[in-house]
Amino acid sequence: MDREKTRHTHFLVLAAAVALAGCAGAPGTSGQRAGAVPPPTTGDSYEYVIGPGDELQLFVWKNPELSTTTHVRPDGKISLPLIEDIQAAGRTPTSLGREIRDRLADFVHDPVVTVMPISFVGPFDQQVRVIGEAAKPQAFAYRANMSVLDVMIAVGGLTDFAAGNRAIIVRKVEGRDVSVGVRLDSLIRDGDMSANVPMAAGDILIIPQSWF
């Protein structure tokens, strides 16, 4: 009986040690500890790239019959008056506007074309995705200078079951995925702004459920 009791005690000690190790740092391919989030490569130089699902308003100056609003199809293309399918996804609005202008030049004298995104999704590698114990898990377009606090506002905060201080950001760094811990509980519930780390285009924020 004493031997069984001893084995049970050793098991509980081991389980507690594993739990404490999990709290000490979030798991990931990089082995970095919480707070060591690699700096984003995006910043002041960030330029929005069109993605499937985006809604675009195309304005052709002095040609209202050619101006239109259209959605980028799942194949990344759009269709316009006088122009066959044209690739839009993966391009900036300026780049797309210039190609549309060049194509319209066969039909319109000296066209001036402006492309204005009016709803944003963006390509997958420029989205921020949030999964797990967020109030509204979702994917949305990255915005320049976005922080993890901005992301929390967008998803409505944490659920009652979230283990916010065990959340991780998965970020692509030099071609490989790096996972590092973030302290969402400290940020949202304690107001610790040192936990408000910058986000990057393509980040995935994973919020686990609390063990207890």
* 161 shares a domain with 128: yes
CA distance 192 to 17: 27
Rounded to an integer, the average pLDDT of 159-169 is: 97
Q: Which value, in Å, is the radius of gyration of the alpha carbons in the chain? A: 24
User: Which of the pair, 47 or 59, is modelled with greater confidence?
Assistant: 59
For residue range 167-185, list pLDDT tens digits in order.
999 999 998 999 999 999 9
- Whether residue 36 lies inside any domain: the answer is yes
Domain count, the chain: 2
Domain with residue 104: its CATH number is 3.30.1950.10
> Residue 134 in contact with residue 158, Cβ under 8 Å?
yes
Domain carrying residue 59: 55-119
CATH number of the domain bearing residue 143 = 3.10.560.10
If DSSP codes are grouped into helix, strand and coil, which group holds residue 149?
A: helix
Is the pLDDT at 26 greater than 90? The verdict is no
Query: What is the reported pLDDT for 31?
Result: 42
Q: Return d(Cα 197, Cα 53) in angstroms, integer.
A: 29
Least confident of 10-19, 41-50, 84-93, 190-199: 10-19
CA angle 138, 140, 142 (to 5 degrees): 140
Q: How many of the other CB atoms lie within 10 Å of CB of 27?
A: 13
Both 91 and 196 in one domain: the answer is no
90/165 same-domain check: no
For residue range 101-133, list pLDDT tens digits in order: 999 999 999 999 999 999 988 898 999 999 999
Residues 35 and 97 in one domain: no
Is residue 20 one of the residues assigned to a domain?
no
Q: How confident is the model at residue 28 (pLDDT cuts 50, 70, 90)?
A: very low
Report the 10 Å Cβ neighbour count for 11.
10
Asked if residue 128 and residue 115 are part of one domain, the reply reads: no
Domain boundary among 93, 119, 145: 119
In a domain, 84, yes or no: yes
Asked if the structure places residue 17 within a domain, the reply is: no
Residues 63 and 164 in one domain: no
Q: Are residues 193 and 142 in the same domain?
A: yes
